[in-house]
């Protein structure tokens, strides 16, 4: 973010995250995102989505969030995408790959999405130029203790519950419900 802040945080070290790196990762993410929604073959789309997920993980590293980047690679690229590839191979892709790719009202969808993008861009421009909404506040946290601080928030410290301990338990319950639901729905006879 701010080069002066970075050099104040770790003196004697130039930041690795150069602007050039950001533009490469962002371009890779957006280009493979386009490939995800335009490829005819679902396997190709899944592979392009993996490239997008890995570039977003690189962007997390540039934002000094190494734990989220690791979770992104392990859970998304390693877990969810394998699930997707399994399902693509289970369902019949022969017919779907010969079909039309887009539905009949695709111009409407495209126009609505362009309007949404215009809304986003105008909001971002307004926020950054007129109200100065997106300036950096506070000192960025050091990334060396990132995982430990996240663990303190999740599990609490010194025997006390952290602010997110209850949400963590609820998330585990959500995963249990999702597993049970997936197993029951894919069974032939319950």
Partner 1 sequence: MVPITTVHYLVVAAALFVLGVIGVLTRRNVVIVLMSIELILNAVNLNLVAFSRMWGNLHGQMFAIFIVVDAAAEAAAGLGILIAFFRNKETVNVDEIDLLKW
Q: Which of residues 109-168 bind partner 1 (CB under 8 A)?
A: 109-110, 112-114, 116-117, 120-121, 124, 128, 134-141, 146, 149-150, 153-154, 164, 167
Note the Cα 135 to chain centre separation in Å. 23
* CB 56, CB 27: distance < 8 Å: no
As a whole number of angstroms, the distance between CA 2 and CA 182 comes to 46
Instruction: State the nearest-atom distance from the C-beta of 28 to partner 1, in Å.
Output: 11
- Spatial separation of the C-alpha atoms in residues 101 and 111, rounded to whole Å: 18
- Rounded Cα distance, 59 and 61, in Å: 5
Q: Which is nearer to partner 1, 3 or 157 (CB)?
A: 3
Q: Does the protein bind partner 1 through residue 72 (CB under 8 A)?
A: yes
89 touches partner 1 by CB under 8 A? no
Residue 159 CB, nearest approach to partner 1 (Å): 20
Q: Return the residue of 8, 14, 79, 155 that touches partner 1, per CB under 8 A.
A: 79
Q: In terms of C-beta distances under 8 Å and separation of at least 24 residues, what long-range contacts does 148-155 make, across chains too?
A: 150/67
- Cα–Cα distance, 14 to 1 (Å, whole number): 13
Least distance in Å: CB of 88 to partner 1?
A: 6
Interaction residues for partner 1, span 27-66 (CB under 8 A): 29-30, 33-34, 36-37, 42, 45-46, 49, 52-53, 56, 59-60, 62-65
């Amino acid at each position: 973010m701010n080069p002066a802040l970075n050099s104040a945080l770790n003196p004697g070290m130039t930041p690795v995250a150069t602007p050039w790196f950001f533009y490469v990762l962002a371009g890779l993410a957006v280009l493979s995102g386009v490939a995800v929604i335009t490829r005819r073959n679902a396997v190709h789309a899944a592979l392009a989505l993996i490239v997008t997920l890995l570039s977003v993980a690189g962007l997390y590293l540039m934002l000094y969030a190494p734990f989220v980047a690791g979770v992104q690679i392990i859970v998304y690229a390693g877990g969810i995408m394998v699930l997707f590839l399994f399902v693509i191979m289970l369902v019949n892709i022969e017919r779907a790959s010969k079909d039309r790719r887009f539905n009949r009202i695709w111009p409407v969808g495209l126009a609505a999405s362009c309007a949404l993008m215009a809304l986003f861009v105008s909001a971002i421009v307004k926020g950054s130029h007129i109200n100065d909404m997106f300036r950096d506040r506070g000192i960025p946290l050091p990334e060396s203790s990132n995982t430990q601080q996240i663990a303190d928030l999740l599990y609490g410290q010194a025997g006390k519950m952290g602010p997110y301990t209850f949400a963590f338990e609820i998330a585990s319950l959500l995963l249990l419900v999702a597993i049970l639901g997936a197993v029951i729905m894919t069974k032939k006879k319950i």
